[in-house]
Amino acid sequence: YHRSWSITAKKLHNMQSDLINAKDEQEYDFNKNSLDKELSKIHVELKKLKGKFFNEGKIGMMEMSWLVFLDRADIINEFTKIDILENFEYLKKWQNDIKNTGIIEQSHADNFKNTYKNYIISTKGYLSSKITGETIKPVVKKKSIAEMLAASSNGCPIKRPE
């Protein structure tokens, strides 16, 4: 049980990275919907939690495996004003309970939050624009070979010399 939660935390951290790297709002929304589907499964399990933590009221392996994801979600919210956990009341409560222990701050290197903020800005994507206020241009999707063939009048996108 604990191992599957650890694996899920890693998977969600990767999905969170996809949010940060989303180049425009459309890609962000797509990635956020995927993340929300996964978070809803976790949310159901957290409703069953008796007490603050899984390990009889004290932080254990479960919480430690989720520190990175929950911490980054909090930092994203702090700098972008986008709370990726806003629809998940029990997940937010668990995040706050873990945060209130002080363990997250103890795990940070000096100036970590600003370093992470600068990383988000460096992506020059949707979340970056929420920090900098810059307007981002929607990404133009490149056509696949099949789409180019379908759009071509003679079925071949390459003109042959006559």
What is the pTM assigned to this prediction?
0.78
- DSSP per-residue string spanning 27-45: HHHHHHHHHHHHHHHHHHH
Write out residues in the chain with pLDDT < 50, as ranges: none
Q: What is the pLDDT of residue 53?
A: 80
- Both structure tokens of 147: 């789409």
What are the tens digits of pLDDT across the range 19-28?
Answer: 999 999 999 9
| Burial environment of residue 161 by CB neighbours within 10 A (0 to 12, 13 to 18, 19 or more) | exposed
- Distance between CA atoms of 147 and 152, rounded to whole angstroms? 9
Question: How many other CB atoms sit within 10 Å of the CB of residue 119?
Answer: 12
* 3-state SS assignment for residue 57: coil
